[in-house]
Amino acid sequence: MVAGEQTVVTGAQLDTLCINTIRTLAIDAVQQANSGHPGAPMGLAPVAYSLWQNVLRYDPEDPAWPNRDRFVLSAGHASMLLYATLYLAGVRYVNPEGELTKELSVSLDQIKRFRQLDSRTPGHPESFVTTGVETTTGPLGQGAGNSVGMAIAERWLAATYNRPGFEIFNYNIYTICGDGDLMEGVASEAASLAGHLKLSNLCWMYDNNKVTLDGPAPWSFSEDVMTRFVGYGWNVTRVSDANDLDMLGRAYKTFLDTRDRPTLIVVDSHIGYGSPNKHDSSEAHGEPLGENEVRLTKKNYGWPEDAKFLVPEGVQEHFREGVGKRGGQLRAQWDKLFSNYTEKFPELADQINRMQRRELPDGWDKNLPTFPADAKGIATRESAGKVLNVLAQNVPWLIGGSADLGNSNKTTLKYEGAGNFSATSYGGKNLHFGVREHAMGAAMNGMSVSKLRPFGGTFFNFSDYLRPTIRLAALMETPVIHVFTHDSIGLGEDGPTHQPIEQLASLRAVPNTVVLRPGDANEVVEAWKLAMHISHGPVLLVLSRQAIPTLDRSKYASAAGVGKGAYVLADAPGGKPAVILMASGSELYLCVDAHEKLKAEGVNARVVSMPSWEIFEKQDAAYKESVLPSSVMARVSVELGATLGWERYVGLKGQMIGMHRFGASAPWKDLQKKFGFTTDIVLDAARKAIAAAK
Ligand SMILES: Cc1ncc(C[n+]2csc(CCOP(=O)(O)OP(=O)(O)O)c2C)c(N)n1
Ligand SMILES: [Mg+2]
């Protein structure tokens, strides 16, 4: 059967025609872009096709339907597989305002513009660009990790919102991953967590094509994947030929029938190398086939050799009859169900609706504490834990946990009814991610694209272990809240392996990421409030282990200034400072102390609290000038971290007090002296800065 001929095809032939359409669209798009991976989409086309056409509960007419099945392409380099499928299924575009449009998310024109500037078909799938892309993938392993968070989210939503006769949430998550994904640590951590939590709504399809970029996969990968996943507590099944749609169908059925654990389907496939003579070649793939190979490959598929971007008659209709019809019916039934649910349970329905729009419930900030002035004070991790415990009661879908440090991070929700999230209680709000920081970050991203507001805690130093997930949250503009405690050498005895130095500077360099390091308990309250309002990117709360004074707000400015990123906390009389002292977090009180001592000496010093550079940079020029007047050149910054970047605020004549080496293992009091984080050092720097500015 040659595509393009005017014969009516049905059944298996039509399936093959659809699969080869996906394949040839991928080939043509990659060839036209002269960039990208054609092989993976060619090999995986039957896997994606049979899932979408026969299994996925997804309505292309309403891709934001909350109860849709999720499809994640963790092998993001196979992006054309996803784009071709979205096009053929006729998935509609949802605009940035969240409105469903009549437009296709991916049109044939967009496929022709694969990997071009401002197209909806970027090199790797970007969820914020292309409707139907559930999460941003490309860095291998991340999509797999995200899918575990999506499965957690579905389980929590079902346990929290379903009522007898009202199964509002019962969707599944399907993930295609390759050898690369399964080699990555993050996917291994995530698979371990998923098995432990018995997430039976999760199905990974492993593209066992025995090849990676360098050559045969066995050059670097020889473990028994099936046994490994059995060990994780997964159900494992195998499809020995990716082109066998019946066998694939049976594997999906096995998944759907498995109620007590996640499923791994190992799919033996051959990566598309073009014509058969190239098939067993181990030469590098991951590049366009070249015009000649394109022709040979098409010939091999029974495709017109000269046709480009050919979509034979009947293919789109077939998708409409399959996934389109099934999804449309299911979604219509769900709409009816949800409308009855809204009548019966208006408050729950309201929560679900607000969640979808990333809004907060009314009264989300009620009962928040204020902290009285206290010279001894309280660690910012402590005050943050108190605030979180209030917020989590006000915002039902604020849920999270830590990577085995709940008691240290103070992220445990202790109020009655908070509960633990476990395989036997999916409605709990306390997640135990275990010592799996990277999977925690990836799962948080998956929860976030599922519209929950996840938080996760670990020591600030171990932000390095989940950093790739922060970057992805920033890129895909999803709000996750990282609670990083033990934020400096102030943690003391655990020593330099645990003491962050460069983390503040390096995380401040990540675009669309808000780093918030509040300077006392009341700044913590404001920092959390700010965090709850940030709905398009990650927020990193950076908190102390050690107690720091709670400042007297009747004497100094209100902590509400945190909302502007930086503010004048204490000023010289008449507002004409001789020197500006600025700090974030646990060093703020040193500046306040120095300010008081300088005042006694008749020196006018202004203290600027700077919990967030990113938020401060968003303010208008007049505000920034009012906080840091350009006429005042004598400036000092104090922060228990690398000084990199503070030049921006202290200028060439300023003084920067920070850490220039790794810390040391000792009680904090001793470290404070050794590394010079005392009022005296600040005073000394202030005098130097004043002298230099003259
Ligand atoms: C974290 C990460 N490291 C490296 C890459 C570059 N990369 C893209 S595809 C690939 C090989 C993938 O092999 P496999 O997962 O088996 O996919 P296949 O080549 O079989 O399609 C690599 C190393 C990446 N995308 N992400
Ligand atoms: Mg492979």
> What is the DSSP annotation of 90-129?
TPEEE-TTS-EEEEESS-HHHHHTTT-TT-S--SS--TTT
The H or E element that residue 484 is part of is strand 481-485
Output the CA 78–ligand 1 centroid distance in Å: 10
Relative to beta strand 514-516, strand 173-177 is unpaired
Residue 282 binned pLDDT confidence (cut-offs 50, 70, 90): very low
CA distances 219 to 43, 181, 214, 215, 642, Å, are 20, 16, 8, 7, 41
Q: State the pLDDT at residue 333.
A: 98
Output the CA 177–ligand 2 centroid distance in Å: 9
> DSSP secondary structure string, 312-359?
-TTHHHHHIIIIIHHHHHHHHHHHHHHHHHHHH-HHHHHHHHHHHTTP
Q: Smallest Cα–Cα separation from 238: which of 78, 47, 73?
A: 47
Residue 61: other Cβ atoms inside 10 A: 17
Residue whose entry in the numeric block shows the structure tokens 């995380």: 507
Residue 286 binned pLDDT confidence (cut-offs 50, 70, 90): confident
Ligand 1 nearest atom to the CA of residue 37, by list position = 21
pLDDT per position as a tens digit, 69-86: 999 999 999 999 999 999
CB of 400 within 8 A of CB of 481? yes
Give, using CA atoms, the residue closest to atom 10 of ligand 1. Answer: 213
Angle 485-489-490 from CA coordinates, rounded to 5°: 65
Ligand nearest 182 Cα, by number? Answer: 1
CB of 71 within 8 A of CB of 203? no
User: Which entry of 126, 154, 293, 437 is annotated as an active-site residue?
Assistant: 437
**Mutation test residue for ligand 1: of 79, 136, 140, the one with most atoms within 8 Å of CB:** 140
Output the CA 13–ligand 1 centroid distance in Å: 32
Check pocket membership of 77 for ligand 1, CB cut-off 6 A. Answer: yes
Query: Which token pair is 248?
Result: 């694939």
pLDDT per position as a tens digit, 363-408: 999 999 999 999 999 999 999 999 999 999 999 999 999 999 999 9
Which pTM value belongs to this model?
A: 0.97
**Mutation test residue for ligand 1: of 213, 220, 221, 287, the one with most atoms within 8 Å of CB:** 213
**Mutation test residue for ligand 1: of 77, 136, 207, 209, the one with most atoms within 8 Å of CB:** 77
Question: Would you call 136 helix, strand, or coil by DSSP?
Answer: coil
Active site residue 313: no
pLDDT per position as a tens digit, 39-60: 999 999 999 999 999 999 999 9
pLDDT per position as a tens digit, 583-614: 999 999 999 999 999 999 999 999 999 999 99
Residue 207 binned pLDDT confidence (cut-offs 50, 70, 90): very high
- Classify residue 417 by burial, with Cβ atoms within 10 Å: 0-12, 13-18, 19+: exposed
Cβ < 5 A residues, ion ligand 2: 178-179, 209, 211
CB of 53 within 8 A of CB of 326? no
Give the whole-angstrom CA distance, residue 655 versus residue 637.
6
Q: State the pLDDT at residue 281.
A: 44
pLDDT per position as a tens digit, 22-31: 999 999 999 9
Q: At what angle do helices 39-54 and 79-89 cross, to 10 degrees?
A: 40
